[in-house]
Structure 1
Protein backbone atom coordinates (compact mmCIF):
# COMPACT_ATOMS: atom_id res chain seq x y z
CA UNK A 1 0.00 0.00 0.00
CA UNK A 2 1.59 3.26 -1.14
CA UNK A 3 0.93 6.51 0.65
CA UNK A 4 1.31 9.87 -0.99
CA UNK A 5 2.38 12.57 1.41
CA UNK A 6 2.10 16.24 0.42
CA UNK A 7 4.24 18.66 2.36
CA UNK A 8 4.16 22.43 2.17
CA UNK A 9 7.72 23.61 1.61
CA UNK A 10 6.95 27.27 2.11
CA UNK A 11 9.44 28.49 4.68
CA UNK A 12 7.78 31.51 6.22
CA UNK A 13 9.88 31.42 9.37
CA UNK A 14 7.23 29.80 11.53
CA UNK A 15 8.95 26.43 11.36
CA UNK A 16 5.67 24.54 11.08
CA UNK A 17 5.15 22.05 8.26
CA UNK A 18 1.78 20.94 6.97
CA UNK A 19 1.53 17.33 5.84
CA UNK A 20 -1.38 15.55 4.17
CA UNK A 21 -1.27 11.77 3.64
CA UNK A 22 -3.36 10.06 0.94
CA UNK A 23 -3.80 6.34 0.28
CA UNK A 24 -2.91 6.28 -3.42
CA UNK A 25 -3.69 2.61 -3.97
CA UNK A 26 -7.36 3.25 -3.17
CA UNK A 27 -7.47 6.31 -5.44
CA UNK A 28 -5.81 4.57 -8.40
CA UNK A 29 -7.87 1.43 -7.78
CA UNK A 30 -11.07 3.48 -7.89
CA UNK A 31 -10.11 5.22 -11.11
CA UNK A 32 -9.06 2.14 -13.06
CA UNK A 33 -11.06 -0.71 -11.50
CA UNK A 34 -13.46 -1.99 -14.19
CA UNK A 35 -16.37 -2.64 -11.84
CA UNK A 36 -15.94 0.36 -9.53
CA UNK A 37 -19.18 1.82 -8.26
CA UNK A 38 -20.13 5.44 -8.83
CA UNK A 39 -20.00 6.04 -5.08
CA UNK A 40 -16.40 4.81 -4.81
CA UNK A 41 -15.39 6.95 -7.78
CA UNK A 42 -17.28 9.94 -6.37
CA UNK A 43 -15.46 9.54 -3.05
CA UNK A 44 -12.10 9.65 -4.84
CA UNK A 45 -13.22 12.64 -6.91
CA UNK A 46 -14.38 14.44 -3.76
CA UNK A 47 -11.04 14.01 -2.01
CA UNK A 48 -9.00 15.04 -5.05
CA UNK A 49 -11.21 18.12 -5.48
CA UNK A 50 -11.08 18.98 -1.78
CA UNK A 51 -7.31 18.61 -1.74
CA UNK A 52 -7.06 20.81 -4.84
CA UNK A 53 -9.19 23.48 -3.13
CA UNK A 54 -7.13 23.44 0.06
CA UNK A 55 -3.80 23.62 -1.75
CA UNK A 56 -5.10 26.34 -4.07
CA UNK A 57 -6.21 28.50 -1.16
CA UNK A 58 -2.88 27.91 0.60
CA UNK A 59 -1.00 28.95 -2.53
CA UNK A 60 -3.22 32.01 -2.99
CA UNK A 61 -2.79 33.34 0.54
CA UNK A 62 0.71 32.18 1.47
CA UNK A 63 2.73 31.92 -1.75
CA UNK A 64 3.73 35.01 -3.74
CA UNK A 65 4.09 34.74 -7.52
CA UNK A 66 7.52 33.40 -8.51
CA UNK A 67 9.29 31.91 -11.50
CA UNK A 68 7.41 32.45 -14.74
CA UNK A 69 4.73 34.43 -12.89
CA UNK A 70 7.25 36.74 -11.16
CA UNK A 71 6.29 39.76 -13.23
CA UNK A 72 2.78 38.63 -14.15
CA UNK A 73 0.81 38.71 -10.91
CA UNK A 74 -2.55 38.89 -12.68
CA UNK A 75 -1.83 35.73 -14.69
CA UNK A 76 -0.76 33.96 -11.48
CA UNK A 77 -3.95 34.81 -9.63
CA UNK A 78 -6.14 34.09 -12.66
CA UNK A 79 -4.53 30.64 -12.92
CA UNK A 80 -5.17 30.01 -9.23
CA UNK A 81 -8.75 31.24 -9.70
CA UNK A 82 -9.27 28.77 -12.54
CA UNK A 83 -7.89 25.96 -10.39
CA UNK A 84 -10.19 27.03 -7.57
CA UNK A 85 -13.17 26.86 -9.93
CA UNK A 86 -12.05 23.41 -11.14
CA UNK A 87 -11.72 22.15 -7.56
CA UNK A 88 -15.17 23.48 -6.66
CA UNK A 89 -16.60 21.82 -9.78
CA UNK A 90 -14.94 18.51 -8.80
CA UNK A 91 -16.41 18.61 -5.29
CA UNK A 92 -19.89 19.52 -6.57
CA UNK A 93 -19.69 16.80 -9.25
CA UNK A 94 -18.75 14.29 -6.58
CA UNK A 95 -21.76 15.30 -4.50
CA UNK A 96 -24.01 15.00 -7.56
CA UNK A 97 -22.59 11.59 -8.47
CA UNK A 98 -23.04 10.19 -4.98
CA UNK A 99 -26.84 10.56 -4.98
CA UNK A 100 -28.36 7.17 -4.29
CA UNK A 101 -31.77 7.32 -5.96
CA UNK A 102 -30.82 6.32 -9.52
CA UNK A 103 -31.73 3.45 -11.82
CA UNK A 104 -29.32 0.71 -12.96
CA UNK A 105 -28.70 2.23 -16.40
CA UNK A 106 -28.04 5.62 -14.88
CA UNK A 107 -25.56 4.08 -12.39
CA UNK A 108 -23.34 2.84 -15.22
CA UNK A 109 -23.48 6.21 -16.93
CA UNK A 110 -22.62 7.99 -13.69
CA UNK A 111 -19.74 5.60 -13.03
CA UNK A 112 -18.34 6.37 -16.47
CA UNK A 113 -18.72 10.12 -15.90
CA UNK A 114 -17.08 9.82 -12.49
CA UNK A 115 -14.15 7.87 -13.95
CA UNK A 116 -13.62 10.54 -16.64
CA UNK A 117 -13.92 13.37 -14.10
CA UNK A 118 -11.48 11.66 -11.73
CA UNK A 119 -8.87 11.26 -14.46
CA UNK A 120 -9.36 14.88 -15.61
CA UNK A 121 -9.17 16.18 -12.04
CA UNK A 122 -5.51 15.25 -11.82
CA UNK A 123 -4.47 18.14 -14.10
CA UNK A 124 -5.53 20.96 -11.72
CA UNK A 125 -4.00 19.01 -8.84
CA UNK A 126 -0.64 18.75 -10.61
CA UNK A 127 -0.71 22.45 -11.57
CA UNK A 128 -1.45 23.58 -8.02
CA UNK A 129 1.29 21.27 -6.76
CA UNK A 130 3.74 22.99 -9.07
CA UNK A 131 2.55 26.55 -8.32
CA UNK A 132 2.02 26.14 -4.60
CA UNK A 133 5.48 24.99 -3.62
CA UNK A 134 4.43 21.59 -2.37
CA UNK A 135 6.74 18.62 -2.32
CA UNK A 136 5.42 15.13 -2.89
CA UNK A 137 6.81 12.23 -0.86
CA UNK A 138 5.83 8.67 -1.76
CA UNK A 139 6.13 6.02 0.95
CA UNK A 140 5.74 2.35 0.04
Structure 2
Protein backbone atom coordinates (compact mmCIF):
# COMPACT_ATOMS: atom_id res chain seq x y z
CA UNK A 1 0.00 0.00 0.00
CA UNK A 2 1.47 3.34 -1.01
CA UNK A 3 0.62 6.63 0.59
CA UNK A 4 1.08 10.07 -0.94
CA UNK A 5 1.92 12.76 1.56
CA UNK A 6 1.57 16.38 0.46
CA UNK A 7 3.70 18.78 2.47
CA UNK A 8 3.88 22.54 2.38
CA UNK A 9 6.33 24.56 4.45
CA UNK A 10 5.57 28.24 4.85
CA UNK A 11 8.11 31.04 5.09
CA UNK A 12 7.88 31.09 8.89
CA UNK A 13 8.85 27.41 9.13
CA UNK A 14 5.40 25.98 9.88
CA UNK A 15 4.64 22.80 7.94
CA UNK A 16 1.32 21.26 7.01
CA UNK A 17 0.89 17.80 5.53
CA UNK A 18 -1.96 15.68 4.20
CA UNK A 19 -1.70 11.93 3.60
CA UNK A 20 -3.68 10.20 0.85
CA UNK A 21 -3.95 6.47 0.36
CA UNK A 22 -3.01 6.33 -3.33
CA UNK A 23 -3.76 2.67 -3.81
CA UNK A 24 -7.34 3.21 -2.61
CA UNK A 25 -7.83 6.10 -5.06
CA UNK A 26 -6.39 4.14 -7.97
CA UNK A 27 -8.45 1.08 -7.08
CA UNK A 28 -11.61 3.21 -6.91
CA UNK A 29 -10.93 4.85 -10.25
CA UNK A 30 -9.76 1.90 -12.32
CA UNK A 31 -11.01 -1.27 -10.61
CA UNK A 32 -13.80 -2.72 -12.78
CA UNK A 33 -15.89 -3.87 -9.82
CA UNK A 34 -15.44 -0.76 -7.67
CA UNK A 35 -18.49 0.06 -5.61
CA UNK A 36 -20.29 3.33 -6.03
CA UNK A 37 -19.73 4.08 -2.33
CA UNK A 38 -15.95 3.79 -2.75
CA UNK A 39 -16.04 6.02 -5.84
CA UNK A 40 -18.12 8.67 -4.05
CA UNK A 41 -15.77 8.69 -1.07
CA UNK A 42 -12.70 9.03 -3.29
CA UNK A 43 -14.30 11.77 -5.38
CA UNK A 44 -15.31 13.73 -2.29
CA UNK A 45 -11.84 13.35 -0.76
CA UNK A 46 -10.01 14.56 -3.86
CA UNK A 47 -12.47 17.42 -4.43
CA UNK A 48 -12.33 18.60 -0.82
CA UNK A 49 -8.53 18.41 -0.79
CA UNK A 50 -8.41 20.44 -4.01
CA UNK A 51 -10.72 23.08 -2.52
CA UNK A 52 -8.73 23.40 0.70
CA UNK A 53 -5.37 23.60 -1.07
CA UNK A 54 -6.74 26.14 -3.58
CA UNK A 55 -8.06 28.40 -0.81
CA UNK A 56 -4.78 28.12 1.09
CA UNK A 57 -2.86 29.21 -1.99
CA UNK A 58 -5.29 32.05 -2.67
CA UNK A 59 -4.98 33.52 0.81
CA UNK A 60 -1.35 32.78 1.66
CA UNK A 61 0.68 32.77 -1.56
CA UNK A 62 1.19 35.68 -3.91
CA UNK A 63 1.68 35.17 -7.65
CA UNK A 64 5.24 34.64 -8.74
CA UNK A 65 7.44 32.85 -11.19
CA UNK A 66 8.03 33.27 -14.89
CA UNK A 67 4.41 32.98 -16.02
CA UNK A 68 2.38 34.41 -13.15
CA UNK A 69 4.90 37.00 -11.93
CA UNK A 70 3.82 39.42 -14.66
CA UNK A 71 0.26 38.18 -15.19
CA UNK A 72 -1.56 38.37 -11.87
CA UNK A 73 -4.99 38.11 -13.51
CA UNK A 74 -4.06 34.78 -15.11
CA UNK A 75 -2.92 33.50 -11.71
CA UNK A 76 -6.18 34.36 -10.00
CA UNK A 77 -8.27 33.10 -12.92
CA UNK A 78 -6.39 29.79 -12.74
CA UNK A 79 -7.12 29.57 -9.01
CA UNK A 80 -10.79 30.39 -9.66
CA UNK A 81 -10.99 27.62 -12.27
CA UNK A 82 -9.42 25.14 -9.88
CA UNK A 83 -11.86 26.22 -7.17
CA UNK A 84 -14.80 25.66 -9.52
CA UNK A 85 -13.46 22.24 -10.48
CA UNK A 86 -13.11 21.26 -6.82
CA UNK A 87 -16.60 22.53 -6.05
CA UNK A 88 -17.94 20.52 -8.99
CA UNK A 89 -16.21 17.39 -7.70
CA UNK A 90 -17.64 17.78 -4.19
CA UNK A 91 -21.12 18.58 -5.51
CA UNK A 92 -21.00 15.58 -7.86
CA UNK A 93 -20.07 13.32 -4.96
CA UNK A 94 -22.89 14.82 -2.90
CA UNK A 95 -25.37 14.41 -5.77
CA UNK A 96 -24.34 10.79 -6.28
CA UNK A 97 -24.83 10.08 -2.59
CA UNK A 98 -28.30 11.66 -2.58
CA UNK A 99 -29.64 9.97 -5.71
CA UNK A 100 -31.05 6.49 -5.41
CA UNK A 101 -32.21 3.68 -7.62
CA UNK A 102 -30.54 0.46 -8.62
CA UNK A 103 -31.48 0.80 -12.29
CA UNK A 104 -29.07 3.68 -12.84
CA UNK A 105 -26.13 2.38 -10.79
CA UNK A 106 -24.04 1.57 -13.86
CA UNK A 107 -24.52 5.08 -15.29
CA UNK A 108 -23.70 6.71 -11.94
CA UNK A 109 -20.65 4.48 -11.47
CA UNK A 110 -19.39 5.49 -14.91
CA UNK A 111 -20.02 9.15 -14.13
CA UNK A 112 -18.22 8.90 -10.78
CA UNK A 113 -15.26 7.07 -12.35
CA UNK A 114 -14.98 9.69 -15.11
CA UNK A 115 -15.23 12.58 -12.64
CA UNK A 116 -12.58 10.98 -10.42
CA UNK A 117 -10.17 10.58 -13.33
CA UNK A 118 -10.78 14.17 -14.46
CA UNK A 119 -10.31 15.48 -10.92
CA UNK A 120 -6.65 14.56 -10.94
CA UNK A 121 -5.72 17.43 -13.29
CA UNK A 122 -6.88 20.26 -10.97
CA UNK A 123 -5.21 18.48 -8.06
CA UNK A 124 -1.89 18.29 -9.91
CA UNK A 125 -2.13 21.96 -10.97
CA UNK A 126 -2.90 23.14 -7.43
CA UNK A 127 0.00 21.07 -6.07
CA UNK A 128 2.32 22.67 -8.64
CA UNK A 129 1.07 26.22 -7.96
CA UNK A 130 1.23 25.85 -4.20
CA UNK A 131 4.77 24.62 -3.96
CA UNK A 132 3.72 21.40 -2.29
CA UNK A 133 6.17 18.54 -2.19
CA UNK A 134 4.82 15.07 -2.79
CA UNK A 135 6.35 12.22 -0.79
CA UNK A 136 5.51 8.64 -1.76
CA UNK A 137 5.67 6.13 1.08
CA UNK A 138 5.48 2.43 0.22
For Structure 1 versus Structure 2, the TM-score category normalised by the shorter chain is over 0.9
Query: Could you say which residue in structure 1 is the equivalent of 2:135?
Result: 137
State the Cα deviation string for residues 92-138 of structure 1 (Å, max 9, x = none): 000111236212x3011100000000000000000001111111000
Match of 1:59 among 57, 60, 65: 57
TM-score, L = length of structure 2: 0.95
Following superposition, which runs of at least 4 residues in structure 1 exceed 3 angstroms of deviation? Answer: none
- In 1, distance between residues paired with 2:83 and 2:99? 27
Query: Could you say which residue in structure 1 is the equivalent of 2:113?
Result: 115
TM-score, L = length of structure 1: 0.94
Within 5 Å, give how 1:1-140 maps onto structure 2: 1-9=1-9, 11-13=10-12, 15-67=13-65, 68-99=67-98, 101-103=100-102, 105-140=103-138
Count residues with an aligned counterpart: 137
State the Cα deviation string for residues 23-48 of structure 1 (Å, max 9, x = none): 11111111011011212101100000
Could you list the runs of 5+ residues in structure 2 that have no partner in the other structure?
none
Could you list the runs of 5+ residues in structure 1 that have no partner in the other structure?
none
